Amino acid sequence: MALAVTSSTSIVFSSSNRTEQGVQFNSSNFQPSDRANRSPAVFNLSQKRSAAVKPLNAEPKRNDSIVPSAATIFAPDVVEKSVEVVDIEKLAKDLENSSPLAIMDKALEKYGNDIAIAFSGAEDVALIEYAHLTGRPFRVFSLDTGRLNPETYKFFDEVEKHYNIRIEYMFPDAVEVQALVRTKGLFSFYEDGHQECCRVRKVRPLRRALKGLRAWITGQRKDQSPGTRSEVPVVQVDPVFEGMDGGPGSLVKFNPVANVAGNDIWSFLRTMDVPVNSLHAQGYVSIGCEPCTRSVLPGQHEREGRWWWEDAKAKECGLHKGNLKEESVNGNGNGNGNGNSAADIFESQNVVNLSRTGIENLVKMEDRKDAWMVVLYAPWCPFCQAMEASYVELADKLAGSGVKVGKFRADGDQKSFAKQELQLGSFPTILFFPKHSSRPIKYASERRDVDSLMAFINALR
């Protein structure tokens, strides 16, 4: 955490008309004494920490290792009470059509100091605003991977000052990071997928954080990722992580904005005039680590800016791994492409459907009669589907021009071959085979409109 443990911890509560356990506190939040405060009443906790309040990264005591010291905001000693058993299915049904504010209020009411908001430094600042509007005390934590954009770190500071809170930062294990970098380098994820790096820098720190909670609050929305988040409920038993009680079902996950569209989130942020990450103004929508995040173009889906070199169907880092359907993911986090039930796309008399043999022969030719434009695709990929109309129109325009237009389905059993021989990175991948060159040229732009594709061909033929 960002603060150090001492034998005596002072907590400052602003005066208000609300009193519990003989202690007055501000209903919006509390703050450590090193922050600016007004007419504080100071309490010295020199003997022990409350048994009812645990630090965010609390773990069972272990004798065989040293757990790094960490601190969070502690409340005065209170009388420990029994934990309420919550019927999650009934709660989810009751809140299914509720507003984000109502869902947030219910979450904070039921779990108090045993719940925290996961803040990534992107548009989920809306969660903090909703929590602030409830008037209840709330906690916020974030995963500092060590590879965030400078703009994101500045944003963290702005949010702390705006809401007068302390964000509880979780960091990856230094030994694990060192081993990964020494063994595989700083950018191994470009070659073998992002899952391993995310597991070290994000998933394991998150697991430690959640061990100190009974519930957490995320900014997942159904419209964020077509392949993984379309069925996100507003409340669920976390399918992946464990809470402080341990074991399956010991952690509850609230997704207050699951049913809210991205445009509506931004309307809310503008209306409430809250701080936002300056990267958004540069075209970044979904923001993660600097090497794995880039801006998107108008018309592109927000998740196309994350891990863009991988398949579009499984854009998850592991924090919400429960969203991934087992049959659609392999060990590298990429779709396995066995979705044979998906209707084929790019159907046109001017688009040649290339078989494995056909594409192999095309690659081997050093002196072709015609130039070729070929798309490597998967019918289930939403980004392939989105460019279907423009690609078919391109094929119609190029008919009889000396440039043939083809398609090769590169998922499933053909995926390994396409990666090794055809420069497949993510779907769709577009290649141009010149007349007098054996090596195809990859179309690097994310612009897939007819004019952009035609300009690429004209520059090469």
| Residues 84-115 pLDDT 10s | 667 888 999 999 999 999 999 999 999 999 99
Q: 334: closest CA among 240, 407, 416? A: 416
Residue pair 297/283 in contact (Cβ under 8 Å)? The answer is: yes
Per-residue pLDDT, 295: 80
C-alpha distances in Å from residue 420, one per residue of 115, 414, 425, 450:
46, 10, 10, 28
> What is the mean pLDDT of the segment spanning 77-88?
58
Q: From the candidates 289, 292, 317, 384, give the one annotated as an active-site residue.
A: 384
**Over the stretch 386-396, which tens digit does the pLDDT of each residue have?**
889 899 999 99
Q: Is 381 a catalytic residue?
A: yes
User: What sign has the CA pseudo-torsion 40, 44, 49, 55?
Assistant: positive
Q: 152: closest CA among 292, 268, 289? A: 289
**Over the stretch 18-44, which tens digit does the pLDDT of each residue have?**
434 433 434 344 343 343 444 333 333
Average pLDDT, the chain: 77
C-alpha distances in Å from residue 77, one per residue of 21, 80, 125:
9, 9, 31
Q: What is the DSSP string of 333-356?
A: SS-----TTSPP----TTEEE--H
Q: What is the pTM of this model?
A: 0.54
Q: Which helix (H) or strand (E) holds 182?
A: helix 174-184
Q: Is 384 a catalytic residue?
A: yes
> For residues 95 and 18, what is the distance between their CA atoms, to the nearest angstrom?
28
Per-residue pLDDT, 133: 97
Q: From the candidates 198, 292, 317, 381, give the one annotated as an active-site residue.
A: 381
**Weakest-pLDDT range from 130-134, 159-163, 455-459:** 455-459
**Which residue type sits at 393?**
E
C-alpha distances in Å from residue 157, one per residue of 150, 154, 161, 163, 187:
11, 5, 6, 10, 28
Retrieve residue 221's tokens. Answer: 């929305």
Q: List CB contacts of 435: < 8 A, sequence separation 6 or more.
A: 367, 368, 369, 370, 371, 461
Q: Is the pLDDT of residue 250 over 80?
A: yes
